[in-house]
Amino acid sequence: MNFSACPAPRAWFERFSTQLLHLDFSISCCYSSLFILRCEKLVVYLLVYVDDIVLTGNNPQFIDSLISQLSSSFELKDLGSLHYFLGLQITRTSKGLFLCQTKYAQDLLLRHHMHTSKPARSPCAPNIRLVPTEGSPLLNPHEYRSMVGSLHYLTFTRPDLSFSVHQVCQFMANPTDSHLIAAKRILRYINGTLHFGVFLQHGPLSLSAFSDSDWAGDPFDRRSTTGFLVYLGYNPITWSAKKQETVSRSSTESEYRALASTAAELSWIRQILKDLGIFLPSSPTLWCDNVSALAIASNPVFHARTKHVEVDYHFVRERVLRRDLQVKYVATGDQYADIFTKSLSTARFCFLRSKIMVSVDPMVLRGDVKASTLDNTAFKPDEEEEKCNG
pLDDT tens per residue across span 226-268: 999 999 999 999 999 999 998 998 888 899 999 999 999 999 9
> Does residue 312 or residue 285 have the better pLDDT?
285
Residue among 302, 298, 290 nearest 257 (CA)? 290
**DSSP states of 233-252:** TTEEEEEEEEE-SS--SSHH
The C-alpha atoms of residue 236 and residue 94 are separated, in whole angstroms, by: 19
Answer whether residue 174 shows pLDDT above 60.
yes
pTM: 0.87
Give the ranges where the chain is alpha helix by DSSP (H). Answer: 10-22, 60-73, 102-111, 142-154, 162-169, 177-192, 251-275, 291-298, 310-321, 346-355, 362-365, 383-388
Hey, which residues does 48 pair with through a beta bridge? 53
Three-state DSSP class for residue 70: helix
Q: 2-82: which CATH number, 3.30.310, 1.10.760, 1.10.3910, 1.20.120?
A: 3.30.310
Q: What pLDDT score does 11 carry?
A: 79
Ramachandran angles phi, psi of 108, nearest 5°: -65, -45
Q: What pLDDT score does 93 carry?
A: 86
Bridging pattern class, strands 326-329 and 88-92: unpaired
* Angle between helix 310-321 and 291-298 (nearest 10): 70
Average pLDDT over residues 34-53: 92
Burial of 185 (0-12, 13-18, 19+ CB in 10 A): buried
pLDDT interval class at 364 (50, 70, 90): low
Hey, which residues does 132 pair with through a beta bridge? none
Q: What pLDDT score does 357 carry?
A: 74
pLDDT interval class at 220 (50, 70, 90): confident
CA 283: distance to chain centroid?
22
Across the chain, mean pLDDT equals 87
Q: What pLDDT score does 389 carry?
A: 40
pLDDT interval class at 375 (50, 70, 90): very low
Which helix (H) or strand (E) segment holds residue 36: the answer is: strand 34-39
* CB burial readout 118-137, b (16+ within 10 A) else e: ebbbbbbbbeebbeeeebee
Residue among 386, 387, 358, 360 nearest 155 (CA)? 358
* Domains 2-82 and 204-336 are alike in CATH topology: no
| Cα-based torsion angle of the residue sequence 266, 360, 243, 336 in order, rounded to the nearest 10 degrees | 60
Q: What pLDDT score does 199 carry?
A: 92
Average pLDDT over residues 10-22: 87
CATH 3.40.980.10 fits 204-336, yes or no: no
Average pLDDT over residues 88-108: 93
Domain boundaries, the chain: 2-82, 99-197+357-388, 204-336
Which helix (H) or strand (E) segment holds residue 327: the answer is: strand 326-329
Lowest mean pLDDT among 9-18, 209-218, 370-379: 370-379
Q: What percent of the chain has pLDDT over 70?
A: 87
pLDDT interval class at 49 (50, 70, 90): confident
pLDDT tens per residue across span 321-337: 899 999 999 999 999 99
Answer whether residue 383 shows pLDDT above 70.
no
The C-alpha atoms of residue 28 and residue 274 are separated, in whole angstroms, by: 9
pLDDT interval class at 305 (50, 70, 90): low
